[in-house]
Amino acid sequence: MPRNRKGIVAPVPPRFRFPHGVPPPNFALSIPRPTHSAMNPILMYHYVAHSPVPGTHPPLTVPPHEFDEQLAALSAHGSVSVLSDEYSRRLQAGDHGNTVWITFDDGRIDNLDVALPRLVAAGHRATFFVIAEKSLGNEPGFVPLSGLREMLAAGMEIGSHTMTHPRLARLPLEQARREIADSRARLEDALQVPVRAFCHPFGNWNAATVDLVREAGYELATSTIRDNRNARADRWTLRRVMIQPGRTGWRFRYALSPAYHLLHAFKNRRRWTG
C-alpha cells in the first residue's frame, strides 16, 4: 500500500473502467455541444494503404478499411465535406453547420490510387496538399501532374505543401519566401486553377513565415496543432485532428467531440506558447 508524506498508509482508489473495456457507442457524442457555432473540424490524413508507405512514419498510414469506416461514419452523422473556399467563408461568418474539411499531406501516390476512389464512392471531397517539386517533376511515389488533374476532375482540391517540404522557420527568409510563393505559382500555372490553401510542412512555422503565406496570396493555412475547432484568428495556423491507425468507432467519434477539444485546448497551452 502506498504511504503519504506522514507515512500513513493511503488506500488506492479503484481505477474507473468502462464496461467491457470501451465506452458505450454514444459516449463522445453524448457530451452537450456548446451553444455557439464552433465545431468545424479539419481531418489530417497522410497515407491510406494496407502497409506503411516506404520511407514514411508508420503511424501516419491508415488502413483502407478504416478509412472506409471513417467516411461512412461522417455520412451517417450527416457531415458534409467542404473544401478550402467554403471553409474559409464559413470561418469568416462563424457559421459552420455540420461540416468537415478532409485534408491530406504530402501527395503520395496512395492518395490517388487508394484514397481518391474511396472518397468518390462515399460522396466526400478532400484537399490534397502536394509538394510541388515532387508532383510536377513526376517523382516516383508521388501523385504526378496527370494524377493531380484527375483529382481535380473528381471534385477534389489541390493545395500547396511548399516546393520541397522544408522546415520553413529554419530557412533564411528569402528561401522560405520562394518555397511558399513559387509552389503556388507553379501549381496554378500547371493546373490552371486557383491554389487557395497552404499547409506548413512539419507544422514548422513562426510569425515571419506566416506573413509570407499571407503575402503569397493564400486564403488560409493549416498546421499540425491538434484540435477540432478554429476561430477567425486561427486562419493562418488552422488546427486539425490527426487521423492515425485505430481511430475508428468511438475513438473517431471522440475526435469530433467537445471532449477532444477540451483536452487539446489544455495541452496546446503548454505545447504552443511562445
From residue 207, give the alpha-carbon distance in Å to each of 204, 210, 212, 270, 274.
Answer: 11, 5, 9, 18, 11
Which SS3 state, helix, strand or coil, does residue 136 take?
helix
Question: Is residue 3 a part of any domain in this protein?
Answer: no
Q: Which three cell numbers stand for residue 201?
A: 510542412
What would the pLDDT profile of 160-198 be if each residue is shown by its tens digit?
999 999 999 999 999 999 999 999 999 999 999 999 999
Across 100-119, average pLDDT? 98
Quick one: the chain helix, strand, coil %, rounded to 5?
A: 45, 15, 40
Distance CA 23, CA 45 (A): 25
Instruction: Name the residue with cell 454514444.
Output: 26
**Which of the pair, 21 or 180, is modelled with greater confidence?**
180
Question: Is residue 27 a part of any domain in this protein?
Answer: no
Question: Is residue 19 a part of any domain in this protein?
Answer: no
What would the pLDDT profile of 188-242 be if each residue is shown by its tens digit?
999 999 999 999 999 999 999 999 999 999 999 999 999 999 999 999 999 999 9
Number of separate domains in the chain: 1
Length of the chain: 274
Assess whether pLDDT exceeds 60 at residue 36: no
Q: For 141, left (φ over 0), alpha (ψ -120 to 50), or beta?
A: left
Question: Is residue 122 a part of any domain in this protein?
Answer: yes
Distance CA 170, CA 131 (A): 18
Counts for the chain of helices (H) and strands (E), in that order: 10, 10
Assess whether pLDDT exceeds 50 at residue 118: yes
Share of the chain above pLDDT 90, in %: 74
The per-residue pLDDT for 13 is 38
Confidence (pTM): 0.84
Question: Is residue 51 a part of any domain in this protein?
Answer: yes
Which SS3 state, helix, strand or coil, does residue 226 take?
strand
Question: Is residue 30 a part of any domain in this protein?
Answer: no
Where residue 97 falls among pLDDT bands split at 50, 70, 90?
A: confident
Q: 127: domain CATH number? A: 3.20.20.370
| Residue 154, domain extent | 36-267
Assess whether pLDDT exceeds 50 at residue 3: no
Question: Is residue 21 a part of any domain in this protein?
Answer: no
Question: Is residue 8 a part of any domain in this protein?
Answer: no
CA–chain centroid gap for 271, Å, is 18
CA–chain centroid gap for 52, Å, is 18
The per-residue pLDDT for 270 is 54
Which SS3 state, helix, strand or coil, does residue 171 take?
coil
Residue 114's nearest CA partner among 195, 45, 191 is 45
Residue 47's nearest CA partner among 141, 122, 125 is 141
What would the pLDDT profile of 66-77 be if each residue is shown by its tens digit?
999 999 999 999
Q: Phi first, then psi: what are they for 121, rounded to 5°?
A: -65, -35
